[in-house]
Structures are given as C-alpha cells and as structure tokens.
Amino acid sequence: MEKVPIRDLVDQLHALGVAPGGILLVHTAFSRVGPVEKGILGLIEALRVAVGPRGTLVMPSMSDDDEHPFDPERTPCRSLGVVPDMFWRLPGVCRSNSPHAFAAAGPDADHITAPHPVEVPHGPKSPVGRVHDAEGQVLLLGASHDANTTIHLAEALAGVRYRRPKHCTVLRDAKLMRVDYAETDHCCQRFVLMDQWLDAARRQRRGRVGRAEARLAGARVIANLAIARLRLDETVFLHPAGVDPECDEARASLSGCSRAAMRS
C-alpha cells in the first residue's frame, strides 16, 4: 500500500478536531494507521505537528513487568504498542518515574509527568488526571475505548468500590520493595459502551486518520459521562457474573465491601 504522507495525517487530525496548543492524550494501534511516511516516527511527527509547538503530546508508557523496578530510561512498554514504546525514547520526551508511567513532550510535559502515587495508577494526581484537569483531549487512533485510561480515572472520581489485588516492585533507598495495592481493574471490554453514550450526546468526533478509524473527545467529557453512568450503576463496566474472570474478581470484592460496612 502507498504510504500516507505526514502532511495528510496532520490535516486529518485537524479536521477531526485536534486543537493546536492543547494537551492531547493518544492511544494508538500503528498497524491500523499505516503504512505512513517515515513509519512510526512519521506518525509521532504528525501528532506533534498537529498539537503545535505550544501543545503537549501525551502517551501511556507503563511497565509490563511487576517483578522488577521501573527505570524510566530503560524499561520498555511493548504491550502498549510500537508507537508509545518509541515515543518515550525520543529526545526531549519526559517520562514519569512510575510503573504506571506516562510520557509527554511539549510545554506541559514536566507537569503531566511529575511524580504520582504508585497505589492509585489512574487517579486525580496521575498523568491522566492532570490531562483531565487541564481540559485536554483524548484521541483513540485505531484503538477503541477499552484502551481509554481516562475511564479508569472516572472510576476513581466516582468512588467505585470494586478492586483487584495488584503489586509492583519499586526501588526505595537503594532497596527493592514490593508494593501491594488494590486497583479499580477488570477486563475493560465494556468501556466500549462509551461509544454509544458519547455519540448520543454528540460529544465525540469520528473520522479517518491514515487508514485507521479515529475518535476524539474531551477528557472531561469522557469522565463526566462515565461518572454519571457509574453513579446509576456502579458495575456498569463489569461483565455479568461468569463471563470474565477479571470482572468476576472485581464483583467479588464488592461482597467484601458490604461485609465490612455491616461490621462497621
């Protein structure tokens, strides 16, 4: 197939509604976008040109390894795809020092990637929370809402009670330390419900960028719609019992919450 020119990608991003000078959090699957002029670097260049010199580009950059300490200068994030794993390695890109890292380039990069709690991966004080507070945009490029970390932020803001036990390994005072925590986690497949809610509210832009389907919405819009649904039904993003083991584990934790409430 003929390679998509970088200039065409930039035009498509602007037509979709990417705001120059804004903060753009991107979740992408390169295989659905390309082939692109200059390959992976060409797509990253197009994204940076689209936000402009006053804009900030953000991507998830978390570790795939819970058993070894995270090193922002060395630890890969291959499970997130080739674009995020290339982005953090580029000159001038900041990466937060956390197993739940994000990477950013632009004027707000230092703020977005400032230290954030290990125990609350996508809470208000995380990079995704800071994108939300700054009224940034979320771009799903060849990806669907099941990859949208802003919905995890909404779960935290809504105060959902379900949790799954997690751990990571950190280096503190030159010593390895295991950190156990409980995360609002599950299979995330039902995050795709956001499509119908955003479309019904006319708060999501859809289009093509390269050869991929693209979705664009404000981080606050996504969070607010998700919070409203979660307040009606705390388990709206969990599969019914017996469908998925991760969702089952999250549901089971709610029984523990109920027992604790009764004891108190």
Residue pLDDT, tens place only, 1-10: 899 999 999 9
What pLDDT score was predicted for residue 257?
A: 62
Give the pair of three-digit tokens for residue 75: 């630890």
Q: Is the pLDDT of residue 263 over 90?
A: no
Q: Is the pLDDT of residue 117 over 70?
A: yes
What pLDDT score was predicted for residue 1?
A: 80
- The order of strands in the sheet holding 94-95 is 94-95, 102-105, 56-60, 23-28, 137-141, 212-218, 205-209
Question: How does the average pLDDT of the chain come out, rounded?
Answer: 95
What pLDDT score was predicted for residue 259?
A: 46
Domain limits, the chain:
6-263
Distance between CA atoms of residues 169 and 238, nearest Å? 28
Q: Is the pLDDT of residue 224 over 70?
A: yes
Residue pLDDT, tens place only, 229-246: 999 999 999 999 999 999
Residue pLDDT, tens place only, 26-47: 999 999 998 999 999 999 999 9
Average of per-residue pLDDT across 47-57: 98
Q: Is the pLDDT of residue 261 over 80?
A: no
Backbone angles phi, psi at 166, to 5 degrees: -135, 165
Distance between CA atoms of residues 250 and 264, nearest Å? 22
Q: Which residue has the higher pLDDT, 89 or 255?
A: 89
Distance between CA atoms of residues 57 and 163, nearest Å? 30
Average of per-residue pLDDT across 131-155: 98
Burial class (CB in 10 A: 0-12, 13-18, 19+), 264: exposed
What pLDDT score was predicted for residue 64?
A: 84
**DSSP label at residue 3:** P
Q: Is the pLDDT of residue 260 over 80?
A: no
Q: Is the pLDDT of residue 264 over 70?
A: no
Residue reference for tokens 């020119």:
5
Average of per-residue pLDDT across 61-80: 94
